[in-house]
Homo-oligomer: A and B are copies of this chain.
Amino acid sequence: MQQAKENIFNSSDSVRSAGPLKHAHSVTFSKPFVLSGSHELPEITIVYETFGTLNERKDNAVLICHALSGDSHVAAHDESDDPGWWDLLIGPGKSIDTNKYFVICPNILGGCRGTTGPDSIDPRTGLRYGMSFPTITVEDMVDVQKKLIEDHLGISRLLAVIGGSLGGLMALVWGIRYPDKLLCSIPIAATAHLTSQSLAFDIVARNAIMSDPHFHGGQYYDSGQVPATGLAIARMLGHITYLSLESMRQKFGDARNKGRHLKTAFETKFSVGSYLAHQGDKFVERFDANSYLTLSMALDTFELGENQEKLIQNMRKSMCRWLMLSFSSDWLFPPFQTKELADAALVSDKRVSYCNIESDCGHDAFLLHNELDVYGAMIRDFLKNVYRDSIRKNGVSVSSEPEEEIHFPKPPKHRIDFDRILDLIPAKTKILDLGCGKGDLLARLKESGHERLVGLEIEEDLILHCIEKGLDVIQADLNEGLRFFSDQQFDFVVLSKTLQTVHNVELVVEEMLRVGTRAIVSFPNFGYYRFRAELDQKGCVPQIDPRPGRHWYNLNDVRFLTIRDFQEFCKEKKYRIHQQVSLDTERGIVVEEDPNINADVAIMVISR
């Protein structure tokens, strides 16, 4: 195994010096390993680390996939150990709790930390591979991991595969390529393929490495010099793309002209320049240029579907539950790309949750503490729920598992409108809830044993509540429509007390009726007698939102309608109203007489 001089992961400026990977195991498979191209490798060595204990049922194994410049040292093994690159998330009592789960992290194929890569000796020649190392793909990296998991560790099914960036691509491939080998997958900051912009940066980085005069066509190992300038420039470029406009402003904006004095051949006039020079130089000490070329080319040729149709075909193969996370300021693998993956899973009726976490930290956010409260909690709760469900399904008593209890927040106060909505929906149906909030209605539908439930919500903290409840929830803005669902994908689409907050009412209702056989819309009735009286007698706009401190000038509501307005809207649009339930929620009763006067809430079941 190669000696590590240093261990900086991906980015963040924590330059931590690491000794050798002292807790790492190594296994060598001596038979030829066939790659997804026509090539093969005569043998494969895999270096990996494990944390926690594999239980007797072997159902608690979590595979962590590292990013381009990471390694197997994902967490510290004990207090005296070097820090791991995801210590934030992995360890006893942490989100990925090593008291409970058996965590495995192998070095990836093509890297330079022990697993077979361009700097390994080719047993056929006795020389290092160098540029003769074959072109590899993300699928090859996953195949190698599967060999370790199944053939060496004897685990037939993983509880979870988790990874960010390149690691996220591996998590995707696991779900699609080996559908029955994992229960859930958590790709973070992942994509079906790189944007042309991100691809372009990789190309410039490779051009810098390969045009370095010390590159010698990749056979520099015995020349006494490595293509240090090219590799450092590649790393500098990488660092810019891992950060964000805002995080760079925070890091360097105030001390722009305060460059540090460094022993370096690169420019140090500006503070950001000395940072880049430092990161570039340090990277050269610990990373192999051929590995960089090999891995970045695997990233660049990665393709889960050059259009949405092909992506859907791929996602359709998966059987696991998905949690997909992106970060708002990530411009290397921008959030819309992760959302496209979630969309492809949704339209294929896969169980998926998605959240674009608000962050200034760019692509590297998943390695940093800033948004740990959000992504850490989402990963923890999602994993807990998947594990709990799997144990239940297999008839294992939950009480035999320590720490299985999920803390549910207090149940919401009784909602008569929810009662009626539940009554309106036949058993075993597929239901989409738009603006699902904390998931209270979905939780009640789940208890009633419905077949398939999906929630859409825009607020991050509400999404977290849904994930905690084990629900499938997608972050989305209703005003943009529901194009990620196919026609008539659901039996019912529910819009519960949300219509009045939607700008684009026509689009939303039209979309509900496209993706659902029936739509259920509930809304506050502006025609309620008390509201009329407020306007007519007091000369004030009705206080339609009863919460204290709410006034005409600070409501979330932007649309106001009466039951009659909605009826006329349906007439105008040629929608059929199948059922109307009118409620006086203040008195907790169903209203039969003059609902446009006597009801403060209406529930409508409509179709095209």
Contacts and interface: CB of A to CB of B under 8 A. Distances in A.
Interface of A: 193, 195-197, 199-201, 203-204, 206-208, 210-211, 213, 229, 232-233, 236-237, 240, 243-245, 248-249, 251-253, 256, 265-267, 270, 272-273, 276-277, 300, 306, 331, 334, 503, 505-506, 526-527, 531-532, 535-536, 538-541, 551-555, 558-565, 568-569, 596-597
Give chain A's interface secondary structure class.
helix
Given A195-B249, A207-B233, A270 B300 contact: yes
B331 A211 contact: no
B532 A211 contact: no
Contacts of A253: 196
A565 B540 contact: yes
B204 A240 contact: yes
B539 A553 contact: no
Contacts of A272: 196, 199-200, 203
A249 to B, nearest CB: 6
Nearest to A306: B256
A1 B273 CA distance: 35
Contacts of A536: 532, 535-536
A532 to B, nearest CB: 5
A193 B254 CA distance: 12
Contacts of A597: 539
Contact of A270 (B195, B203, B244, B506): B203
Given A240-B201, A551-B569, A248 B196 contact: yes
17 contacts: A196-B251, A197-B243, A199-B256, A200-B236, A203-B236, A203-B267, A204-B233, A207-B276, A211-B229, A245-B331, A506-B553, A527-B535, A532-B535, A540-B568, A541-B562, A551-B569, A558-B558
Nearest to A252: B196
Contacts of A252: 196, 199
Given A196-B248, A199-B270, 17 more contacts: A196-B245, A197-B243, A203-B273, A207-B266, A207-B267, A208-B208, A208-B233, A211-B233, A211-B266, A270-B300, A331-B331, A527-B540, A538-B564, A539-B563, A540-B562, A553-B569, A558-B558
A204 B540 contact: no
B334 A245 contact: yes
A36 B532 CA distance: 72
A577 to B, nearest CB: 16
A506 B527 CA distance: 27
A538 to B, nearest CB: 7
